Structure 1
Amino acid sequence: MNNPTNPLTEPNGSRARHPDTPTFCQGGCGCGAVRYRVTSAPMIVHACHCRLCQRQTGSSNAVNALIEADRVIVRLGEIEEILLDTPSGRGQRIARCAACKVALWSNYLIFNQGRDLRFLRVGTLDDPSLMPPDVHIFTGSRQPWYIIGDDTPKVDVFYDRKATWSEDSLMRLKTLSETTGSALN
């Protein structure tokens, strides 16, 4: 980014949720065939330590930024989708680059969200440090060598959304649910 200021941080150092910038950040796949831009901060960022995320990513956890689908705009390339398992048993549609197969985002079917809410893979951002985890989930199955600091909330399985999400993010989710008719909130 040309802007030396972190767009996720307010002047007082607190994390911003909704900067009013046309392009909040950008990202893409490993081979460069797919490029996307993000138009706002996410509602929340999860670091998921479930065994399926470990297997599907080939790492200790997946980091997903939950954001409205219309705020992630594909600028270049072709996306393909595959269906994979989730701890809920309902599955997820994972959007991948058609060329290199890197996972860019997914839609979890447990939320009946259709294609309205994306779980953007933070590692595909040009600067993943812009979206650090707000909460660690499924820590009951995290790798014992993965140390989670005391500054980020963590739960054994999942959390109470109303107790964890900001009021602003809860309103965004409610608006998305009302606008799309999805059972999101």
Structure 2
Amino acid sequence: MTEPGAFSLDGGCDCGQVRYRMHARPLFVHCCHCRWCQRESGASFALNALIESDQVEALAGEVMLVHTPSESGQGQQIARCPHCHLALWSHYAGSGPAVKFVRVGTLDTPDALPPDIHIFTATRQPWIVLDPGTPAVPEYYDREAYWPAESLARRRALLPQIEAWQASKRKP
């Protein structure tokens, strides 16, 4: 596990009202090229750092959570600055509030978190050239095959929280 204080990255919105700090390395960083992420981001891909929510500290301001449709049909909660409306992170239906998908571009030093994998490359824009040293898959991937052992262990520690959240969302 990451030593306390051994890792720290700050980020925030454009207007400066919301600031946050990541206290651990992300579990994994996705560069998603699906059409949904292209539309949602207004760009050619979305770059998200997956991290335990308790490893992200609010330094200033509060976010507003906006329920937004997702390709899965289950939706996502996007945390936005209530003033400038910049998207800072999402909580997807699969893991609920236990995991944040932090928008890497909102970090003060986004270069610190290059992608660990490119996903949904079958729908990437054809003019984007991928780094041959970074794994790339046409759709999604097998987590066990790509995540480091430490990240898999951290995810296993989150499973009771994720499963409890999922159970609370099931209809009786």
Normalised TM-score (structure 1): 0.84
Structure 1 residues 149 and 72: CA distance shift in structure 2, 3 A = same
Matched, 1:66 2:50: yes
Aligned AA (2:51): I
Q: CA deviation at 1:181?
A: 4.0
Alignment-derived partner of residue 139 in structure 1 = 121
User: Unpaired runs of 5+ in structure 1?
Assistant: 1-16
Corresponding residue SS for 1:115? helix
**Which has a greater percent of helix?**
2
Structure 2: any 5+ residue segments left out of the alignment? 167-172
In 1, distance between residues paired with 2:52 and 2:62? 20
- Seq. identity, %: 46
Distance 1:150 1:167 in 2: 23
Q: Distance in 2 between matches of 1:59 and 1:180?
A: 30
Paired residue type of 1:59: A
| Candidates 59, 71, 78, aligned match of 1:94 | 78
Over 3 Å counting, the alpha-carbon distance change for 1:133 and 1:95 in structure 2 is same
1:155 equivalent to 2:141? Answer: no
Aligned to 2:60: 76
CA-based RMSD: 1.7
Query: What corresponds to 1:122 in structure 2?
Result: 104
Query: Aligned-pair distance for 1:87?
Result: 2.4
Alpha carbons of structure 1 residues 40 and 33: separation in structure 2 relative to 1, 3 Å: same
CA distance in structure 1 between the aligned counterparts of 2:28 and 2:47, rounded to whole angstroms: 11
User: Residue 79 of structure 2 aligns to a residue in which SS?
Assistant: strand
Give the superposition deviation at 1:88: 1.7
